[in-house]
Amino acid sequence: MKFNTKVIHAGVHPDTATGAIMTPIYQTSTYVQEEIGVHKGFEYSRTGNPTRAALENNLAAIEGGKYGACFGSGLAAIDAVIKMLKPGDEVISTNDLYGGSYRIFTTIFEKYSIKFHFVNMLDVKNIEEKINNNTKLIWAETPTNPMMNIIDVKSICDLARSKDIMVGVDNTFATPYLQNPLSLGADIVMHSVTKYLGGHSDVVMGALVTSDDKIAEEIYRIQNSSGAVCGPMDSFLVLRGIKTLHLRMQRHCENGEKVAHFLENHPIVDTVYWPGLKSHPNHDVAVSQMKGFGGMISFTLVGDKLESAKKVVSKTELFTLAESLGGVESLIGHPSTMTHASIPREERIKSGVVDSLIRLSVGIEDITDLINDLDNALKI
């Protein structure tokens, strides 16, 4: 089955009880047992729920994996990954990681004596330097937020495989439509389903996908034991969202490209960060591992004034000022005062999050309206 068919059909079957084409919302915590241990595959909804199961199978299929597991949020999914480790184990991760991932690593799991190294993953040598006998996991994210750095997943996986280290990739920004880390050698793919997979800014959810039997067993054990699962209503909404993932992503990419070129040619815009631009430092890697470049764009303003950035984000009308991303509607954000405010200014600036950096989640509205909106907002 091709991707555009999988999003609609994979894992989803007409309801056996009623013939309903759409997977029903099985809003139930428990299931009848005809006699002890005799049931239809479901005993208790923390362990398994038919609506969630349909979504988990669908997610596994669209990522090209065997097993899917859904959680109450993206961070709950990451939490489950790190719970596979034990005290003394070490993790190597990227230095421009999603802020929430950085927070769970450093404020939750360091307490349990798991050690995290944050390195610049644009050069695999930086990873190699940190590897020792305790290294159990490499955790990457690409494209990164908000600098849209592109990390070469295959070269990391090649390095890790020779040393028997697990590789996990946060594939939230790319989605399975643009990039499939499992096919590049990763062991685990993670999603903040909240973003593009849900696609309509109405659900918070996370997911993990793997093809490895042993890893899957561990993930399901943790999913059931720690219990950070998502509910059937949310599973239904995401199943519905995923049916149009391919169409939405296609339009996000088209609109993203037009907005990136518009910004690149605008006199008050300094640098545009979008992996589809030839000027992007890792454009070649993006071309080799991604099918398209998505709708996430960051840019800076000439002169790098905080005040100018504040004016721009307050002047847009269609681009709504908000955190989050990946919905059908366009959003605008100011990383240095919003998502990345907790990082000290000097460190922030070193990684490129300067005062005038603005991040766009380009939606799927009419491109003329989007460009007019930005054009107006940039008249400052």
Ligand X SMILES: *Cc1c(COP(=O)(O)O)cnc(C)c1O
Catalytic annotation present for 46:
yes
Q: Sign of dihedral through CA atoms 100, 105, 111, 112?
A: positive
Count of residues near ligand X by CB under 6 A: 16
Q: Which is nearer to ligand X, 196 or 299 (CB)?
A: 196
Contact 355, 305 (CB under 8 A): yes
Interface with ligand X, residue 201, by CB under 6 A: no
Smallest distance from ligand X to CB 174, Å: 10
CB closer to ligand X, 150 vs 269? 150
Listed ranges 20-28, 54-62, 95-103, 364-372: which one lies at the site for ligand X (CB under 6 A): 95-103
Residue of 195, 248, 251, 359 marked catalytic: 195
Binder to ligand X among 26, 67, 98, 109 (CB under 6 A)? 98
Which 132-171 positions form the footprint of ligand X (CB under 6 A)?
Answer: 141, 145, 170
| Separation CA 374–CA 330 (nearest Å) | 11
- Which of 145/201 has CB closer to ligand X? 145
- Which one of residues 24, 64, 100, 185 is an interface residue with ligand X (CB under 6 A)? 100
Is 177 marked active-site? no
Using CB under 6 A as the binding rule, whether residue 172 contacts ligand X is answered as: yes
- φ, ψ dihedrals at 154, nearest 5°: -65, -40
Known catalytic membership, residue 31: no
Q: Give DSSP secondary structure letters for 266-291.
A: -TTEEEEE-TTSTTSTTHHHHHHH-S
Radius of gyration of the chain, Cα coordinates, nearest whole angstrom: 21
Residues contacting residue 79 through CB under 8 Å, at least 6 positions apart: 71, 104, 108, 226, 228
DSSP for residue 111: G
To the nearest whole angstrom, how small is the minimum distance from the Cβ of residue 328 to ligand X? 17
Q: Is residue 195 a contact residue for ligand X (CB under 6 A)?
A: yes
Of the candidate spans 81-89, 187-195, 261-269, 367-375, the one that interacts with ligand X by CB under 6 A turns out to be 187-195
The number of residues making up the chain comes to 380
**Shortest Cβ distance from residue 204 to ligand X (Å)?**
5
C-beta of residue 297 within 8 angstroms of C-beta of residue 331: no
Strands, sheet with 90-94, edge to edge from the N-terminal-most edge strand: 67-71, 206-210, 188-192, 166-170, 135-141, 90-94, 115-119
Annotated catalytic sites, by residue? 46, 98, 170, 195
Q: Which residues bind ligand X (CB under 6 A)?
A: 73-75, 98, 100-101, 141, 145, 170, 172-173, 192, 194-195, 204, 206
